[in-house]
Structure formats: structure tokens, C-alpha cells
Structure 1
Amino acid sequence: MNTELLLNHVAGQWVAGQGAGSTLADPVTGAALVRVSSAGLDLAQAFQFAREQGGSALRALSYGQRAELLKAIGEVLKAQREAYYAIATANSGTTTADSGVDIDGALYTLGQYARWGTALGDARALRDGAAVALAKDGAFQTQHVQVPSRGVALFINAFNFPAWGLWEKAAPALLSGVPVIVKPATATAWLTQRMVADVVNAGILPAGALSVICGSSAGLLDQLQPFDVVSFTGSAETAAVIRSHPRVVSQSVRVNIEADSLNAAVLLPGADAESEALFVKEVAREMTVKSGQKCTAIRRALVPAERFEAVAQALVAQLGKTTVGNPRNESVRMGALVNREQFEGVLAGLEQLGRHAELLLDGRAAPLVDADPSVAACLGPTLLGNRTPEATDANTAVHHLEVFGPAATLLACRDTAHQLALVRRGEGSLACSLYHHDAAALGAAALELADCHGRVHVISPAVAKLHSGHGNVMPQSLHGGPGRAGGGEELGGLRALGFYHRRAAVQAAPDVLAALGPLAELSL
């Protein structure tokens, strides 16, 4: 076997996993790229080294100093940007534009946390609210503080964002003073491993502050201790395994989950032509960006029944312009799914959804550019639909089955109340977008849906050229969602630091509280 075996970085050393490992392949050509293996690693030593060496060194720095580390990481990564794009094309099958969503999104997020961290200055702990008197004349008070957790941040990431998925978690963790061990999804581990290698080899971070384990996740959860934290992105089934792991349960390990999500886009009744056009544009974009392999992608598109035919025709026309195939060809606008296994899974999911909805656009019929359909994991955008509110009501599968690819279902609805009730049948999602020209209608719907979403993205003609996009996760806003979406929270500006800190109340005389040292004000 001639493919290179990617090394793991643990306990401050580069270590090869044992055995042949798993081979990563080009999802368009099927060519073998590199191999990964985590077999034989001393995981106990890896976690201990990260806690004791990496954690101690990071906590010795102030927030401002750690922000400088993030800035330096960003500079190193920017210098290797073209290499990352090449890896993404080969390993993820993404076009240049789609690779940018991942890679440039990661760089932007790192830059934001570097700037926010600089504002926290030379403090090493956070003030959580003002001191409160517990006795007469304020002679005895309580001050809530947040201090960095003295454990490891274990990241178990998904395949669709090997760059952003690492740095949107690692930036707030490292800024908080918590060392990181990342286990990227095997299928696309190459980009994550390369980024970690570039940062480690640049000597920016203390030894043990950043580790990467490529291959199987077996044994990782067995290493967890009470002050560690786990952040997982992936399926609800795997999330349940993590939450119920004996170490997580017995040690009360803090866990953040981002899981399945049946995100919705809603064209409210009575919307003007411009709002309807914005709806069509956004649904089509979310179906095709990264071949629909985004946890925030639109899966359910809800429209008034009287507008179903017009919207369906507009969507089919828009999606029909999407060229699919080898991302190396400049004419291609949508590349591949991550591998043939995912390709087959999407086809199986579409077959299930198709039992409850009409096929409006068949992605299997899309001609492929510079790609062999018997090898490439390429599929054109697929649109399903329920033309009547009655058919929509009968379609239970669309609210429970997420097809993780370039697919969505258009649903005819009776009125606003019907739309909002249908959205809630998704049982918690990462994102929902609303479309209309009337501020009052949009505001009322947004608050009605806020409790079952991590983010409500409201699009009116006033922000037609300004909004960040339904599926784009911005570091300034919360990312996560209740219920089916995992019940987790990430980003949201400096709110993200809370996951990596421990809150405590210090009860003392005012002079003792003043002696706690500089406490940064956590301005949200």
C-alpha cells in the first residue's frame, strides 16, 4: 500500500497508529489518498499530558495572551490556505466556493475570537455579574466568578466541516485556557490533521495544548475525568451513546451535542413577490451548497397552498441550472457527497421520503460533468413535494427523517398557524428562516418559533443583500438547538467560553473579593 499514513499528535509527539488503518478516498474518482489509524495509541498518557502540561501552560497565560496565540494560529493557517483548498477538493469533493465555506469560515471564526479575547486583557478569570450583599452595609458579599475548567476538551467531529468544525470549537476552548484533543471524522480527517500539523510545527502553542487523533474513536470516552468536556457533532444515535457512557454518567462530564436537524424555511402567507423570490433563492442555495451536507441546510420548505405551483416551478428552474460533477472542472457548481456510502444513504433516504411525497425534480437524472456515475458520489439536487395541505398533514416522515444531501421537501400549508405547527413537528432544530415583507408578521412568527430553534433567520427585502444566509453559522450568533438538534449551544460570541469555564460563588468581605485579582467583564 503506497498511500501515506497520517500521524497522530498526542502527548507532545507525532505517533503512527498501528496496522493498515482506514483509507481516505477521492469521492469523485475513487482514488486512494491517505490512510489513518489510531490503533495502539496510549490514550491515558495522551489525556494526562494534555491536562497536566497543556492545561497548566495555557492557564498561566491571560485571556489577552491566549488571544495572541489564536491570532498567530490564524496567520499560519492563512499562509497554507491554498494547500487546504487542494485537500478539500481531493478528500471532500467540494468546489472552490464550497471549500471556502469550511476553510475561510474557520479563519474568520478564529479571527473573531482573537479580537474578542484581546478585549478581555490580562485577566485569568471572568466576573459573572456584580457582587451582591449578604449582610448589612455590604460587609459580607457574594461574587460569582467563572474560571477555566482544569480538564481536557475532547472534540468528536463530523465529516462535513473538517476545518470549521475544528476551529469553531477550538478557538473558544483555547481562549478559555482548556487544552484540545480533536478526533475528526475518519472520512475527511486529512484536512483537520494537516491544519493541526501546521500549527504544532509552527511552535505556537504549549506542548499538549492541541492534539489530534485520526481513526477509530474507541477508548476515547474511557479516559474522561470530572472536569473534562466533550463536544460532539453527528448523529442522534451516536450522541445517545456518548451521553450514556459510564464515564460521562459517573463523572458528570459536561457534554455538548449537535445532532440531527430538520431545518425549515417558511414563506409566510401574503408575502410580496420580492420576498417569494428571496425564499426560492435561499432554498435552492441551501440545497446545493456543500451538496446539501450541512447540519443547518433547509430540509423542509413551507409555502401557502395557493403559491405551491409557482414556487415549485421557480425552484425546479433554479435548481436545474446547477451543474454537478468533478469540482476540478470550472463549470461545476456542485461537487460530490463525501463518499459512496453517504451517496447510497442519501438515495435510501430519498426513497423513504418519496413514499410520502411527489418527486418534483429527480437528482439522479442530472448529467455529471467529468465524473463516472458508477464511481463518483455525485447526485443532483432533488426536490420532493406535497401539493395540498392534506397531503402535507399526512406526511409524517418529512419531520423525522433527515436526508443529509442535496434534497428538500416543499410543503403546501393552509395558513400561518398551520406553518408554525408543522415547523414545531421537527421537535427542535438548529435554524429556521422566515420570509415576508411585513415586520410585524415576521416578528410574531420569530418569537413563536424561538423556543424550538437555536437560531431564527428572518429575511425581508430590507436585508436582501445584507443577510448572512440561512445556513451560514456566524460566530456572533448562537449555534445549536433544542430537542432533536441535540440540546447544545456553541459560539454566540463570548457566550461560548461558558462551556469551558466553571461558575462558582465566592463569599467574603469586600477587601477579599477585591484581592481576587483582575476579573474580566464578560460583555455579551
Structure 2
Amino acid sequence: MTAHTDLPLLPNFFAGRWQTGTGRGQTLLDPVTGEALVRVDNTGLDLAEGFTFAREQGGAALRALNYGQRAALLGAIVKVLQANRDAYYDIATRNAGTVTKDSAVDIDGGIFTLGYYAKQGEALGEASVLLDGERIRMGKDPVFQTQHVLQPTRGVALFINAFNFPSWGLWEKAAPALLSGVPVIVKPATATAWLTQRMVEDVVKAGVLPAGALSVVCGSSAGLMDQLQPFDVVSFTGSAETARIIRSHPAVAQRSVRCNIEADSLNSALLDPAASEGGEAFNLLVSEVVREMTVKSGQKCTAIRRIFVPRALYGAVAQAIGAKLAKTTVGNPRHEGVRMGALVSREQYDSVIAGIQHLKTEAEVLVDGSAVALVDADPAVAACVAPTLLGTQDPVGAKVLHEVEVFGPVATLMPYDSEAQAYELIRRGEGSLVASVYSEDPAFIARAAAELADSHGRVHAISPDVAASQTGHGNVMPMSLHGGPGRAGGGEELGGLRALGFYHRRSAVQASSAALDVLCAPRAAFGVTP
């Protein structure tokens, strides 16, 4: 992105003060109209100063509070964000090209997650240490025992975030970090950095957090990893290629900085082999696939990318999905009749178009998004891609379809010939964030969950009895684990209080019962619930 020096330059909040970069910066654009909006830049920032300030000032101030007091800070952030929701929706429309319901997934989803952790932390009360398990005798005499405890790491949490969720991507990580007592430095993806920057600005100006507890650096990520020290942590969401660079960085490889990665994920949807055309499970799968292809224009790490159905239903499923997708209007999110907006940039548009061509080397086009006319948007300018459904009759012989994720409104339909083959094909994704199962049979759901749980961070089972209450294949809820093994990055986030583990250090304290009583009072047990 080139710079437009007459545009406003968003300031960074770093080292406890607002700072603008000294370079020309990068320009953020409206992905529908191409309008230049604002600039971001961090050239000239003293990175060492900012990390030291957060580590020493922000960290010390947060650790001086107990869990209940830090939970109250999260609750105060929620109030600040709720008071400014209208501004956030406007920024999302202009900078991310999302329709209102898709903006809500990001904005209200982030606020909801903060509120959830505020309540979880409130239940921890006055505790200043978390207990991990019961005391263990070290010998016959019970006077000398071991107690495993969890204490906040005395470092900083660096978040290098993705472009698709500038709000939720910040707060789903920051909520457990701040509750744990660990200061946050967020580096949002440049293309959609405006929303993240504005939210941090509102929280900082409201004065609800100690100095150094929350910082934002917009623009280049150069040099950020170099600042990390042994007790810091880094969390990254993005491509597998960048993830490999982070894992090989000396901070991780040599200084043992704790690292959490969320990368590519070829998530699957599986229809019960006993399903019938037009049956409840059939219709549930069709509806969920269409929703996952269109929400956020398919720009979700949890979106359905591969759809596995019994071979006899391949044609019927393709036709049913196509009929629903035909009703999806694509274009300018400001237009009342538009259901799906744009990708975040023309660069992402080019990537998705190239990705579709790559997948077409092994698949045929079942629903052609390129034939869809845009509403109130110039196809030569707008980063709009209509939903594209691909299909293959030979998923066993395919390779690219099980290896390449196209990050947009694209999915591939694949038939299977046996239940065992379906599981094998799904596992060829080599680890995913989520697989969803559609069935009217609890026994099949249980079998599928047992088969797929080892290679997925989440198994989402949709049956008629939960159709109205299920939260959605791609909707990440704070009480459930978010992450996945293998290609999905091998990381874990959320999962209730489990998320706090990443920001704590576990130690075994071997001492007398009397000393342990003093150390662990007040205390709280670390587990699924407070």
C-alpha cells in the first residue's frame, strides 16, 4: 500500500504515550470504493523502550491486583467499547467492507468475550495465586508437601494479529492476558488496523487500565520479535509461512519464548451416511455450509473449506447449496440489499482468485462466483468475490484440495464411499480448527467425535434437537477451546479459564503445610471453572 501523506496518521500508543511514526507510512483503503482512509506507521519508535515500559510498569501494576480486581478492569473496558459501538461499525464498513451482521461477529463478539472473562475472573475473587491440583505428600509424614501453583509470567504478551478480526482478534487474546496480570502489546494486521487502533485509543483515553498494560503498534512488524525476552509470550494468527518464521526466530528457538500459533486450517463438514435428501441432517448441513461461505466473505479461520457427503447425495447437496447461494447478493455493504460485502483488500482479492484457479486443477466449478454481478460496486476496484463452490468426484486422488486453503468464500464438495473413508479424508487436512458433523443419530455423532477429536481443536455436532440453539460451526465461543493441531498451528486459545495457562508459569512449591497455607491464601483452584 502506498502512502497518501495528506491523510491522517494514526498514532501508536507505546511506552505509555501516543507516538506517530516518522516515515511516510502505509495507507488503509476502503476495499469496496478504493477510497484512501488513514495512514499507519511506526518508523522511529524505540521498541526496546516500549517493551521495557510494558514489562516493568504495566506488568508490575497488573500483578499488584488480584484476579477479581483485574476482572473489574475487563468489565470497565466492556463499558468503554459499548459506548463507542457506532464508531466501530462505521470503521468496519469503511475499512473492512463488511455488512452490519458481519461487523457484529467481530465487534460484538470481542465485547462478549471480554464480558465473559470479566465474570470468570470475578468468581476468582481475591486470589493472588492459582492452585494446580491438590497437595501431594513428599513422604510418610504429611508435614512436608508439594503444591503446584500458577503465577503470572513476568513478561509481556505480544500479539501479531490477522486482518479478518481486528476487534475479536485483539480481545479474545487480551482478555485472558490482562486477567492473568500480563501486559499486552498488539500489532494488528496493517490492512484493517484502524479498528484495533481506535478501540485501544478509546480504552486508553478512558483511563481504565494502568499505564503500560495495553499498547498498540501499527504498521511494520520489523524488530518486534527481537525485543522478546525469556518470560515474554507471543501469539500469532495468520499464514503458515509467517508462522514458520516466528517459530524459527531466536526469541523462540533460543530464548524459549512461549509461542502460540493459529495458522491455515482446512475445516470440514461431514454429513451422516444415513442421511436422506431433504432430511433434517441434509438441510442442516446445506444451511451451515452456505452461512460459513458467506459470513465475513469466507474470511474466517474456522470457515468450512471441505464438505464430505455420501456419494449418492453429492449431486443433491451441490444443487441445494447452489440454490441458496444464488440468493446471496454481493457488493457495497452500504446498500440495503447487499448480504455479503468485500474481502479486506485487492491484494486479498488477487490471492483468492489465484487460489480458486489452483484448486480448479483438481476440481470442477459447481457454483461460479465470477458470473455474479456486484451490487453498487465497480468490479475493477472493489475487492468483492462472490461465493464459489467447487467439487470433485475423486477426493481420494486429490492432493491440492487437502493442502491449500483459499481464504475467501470458497469451499469444495467431496463424496465418500464409507464412514471409515470419510474420516481418513478429513484427517488428510493434517489438523484443523473445527470439524462439524450433521446427523439425526447420536451414536453416529459419538463415533465421529471420537474419530475426529484427535485432529481437531473442536468437533461441532449439529442434530435436529440442537438446531435452534447450536452456536454455529465457525462461531468461536469463549467457553470452548479455539485452536487446532498440526497444520492449524498446534496452538490453543480460550476454553474458559484454560486460556489463563498460557500466561502463567507453573511451579512446584515443596514446603511445610504451614508455609503452604500462607502462600496459598487467598487462593483459587485452576480448572474448567473457578
Structure-2-length-normalised TM-score: 0.98
State the one-letter code of the partner of 1:320: A
Q: For 1:277, which of 280, 283, 286 is the aligned residue?
A: 283
Deviation at 1:50, TM superposition (A): 0.3
Aligned length: 521
The within-5 A match list for 1:370-519 is 370-386=376-392, 388=393, 391-516=394-519, 517-519=521-523
Partner of 2:34: 30
Would you say 1:295 and 2:308 are equivalent positions?
no
| CA shift for structure 1 position 84 | 0.1
Please give the secondary structure, in 2, of the residue aligned with 1:456: strand
Structure 2 unaligned spans of 5+ = none
Between the aligned partners of 2:404 and 2:156, the Cα distance in structure 1 is 34
Q: Distance in 2 between matches of 1:402 and 1:384?
A: 13
RMSD, aligned α-carbons: 0.6
- Residue aligning to 2:138: 134
Quick one: which amino acid aligns to residue 307 of structure 1?
Answer: L
Partner residue in 2 for 1:86: 90
- Deviation digits for residues 139-176 of structure 1 (CA, Å, limit 9, x no counterpart): 21000000000000000000000000000000000000
Q: Does 1:268 align with 2:295?
A: no
1:318 aligns with 2:324: yes
Code of the aligned partner of 2:389: L
* Structure 1 residue 2, shift from structure 2 partner: 2.2
**3-state SS, counterpart of residue 300 of structure 2:** coil
Runs of 4+ in 1 over 3 A off after TM superposition: none
- The whole-number CA distance in structure 1 between the counterparts of 2:40 and 2:46 is 16
1:325 counterpart SS class: coil
Q: Aligned partners of 2:422, 2:211: CA distance in 1, in Å?
A: 53
Cα shift readout 1:400-431 (whole Å, capped 9, x = no counterpart)? 00000000000011011111000000000000
Q: Which residue matches 1:340?
A: 346
Deviation at 1:394, TM superposition (A): 1.6
Encode CA deviations 1:263-293: one digit per residue, 9 max, x unaligned: 0000020125001000000001000000000
Instruction: Give the residue type in structure 2 aligned to 1:366.
Output: V
- 1:308 is aligned with what amino acid? Y
Q: Is the 8 A contact 2:330 2:339 kept in 1?
A: yes
- State the shift of 1:97 in Å: 0.3
Cα deviation per residue 1:346-379 (whole Å; 9 max; x = unaligned)? 0000001011111011111111000000000001
User: Which secondary structure does the structure 2 equivalent of 1:23 belong to?
Assistant: strand
1:9-20 correspondence to structure 2 within 5 Å: 9-20=13-24
- Distance in 1 separating the partners of 2:364 and 2:402: 16
Aligned to 1:67: 71
SS at match of 2:505: strand
Amino-acid identity (%) = 67
Which residue number corresponds to residue 145 of structure 1? Answer: 149
SS at match of 2:164: coil
Q: Secondary structure at the match of 1:232?
A: strand
CA distance in structure 2 between the partners assigned to 1:269 and 1:459 by the alignment: 15
Structure 1 CA distance for aligned equivalents of residues 522 and 147 of structure 2: 13
Q: TM-score, normalised by structure 1?
A: 0.99
Equivalent position amino acid for 2:224 in 1: L
State the partner residue of 1:124: 128
Runs of at least 5 residues in structure 1 that lack an aligned partner in the other structure: none
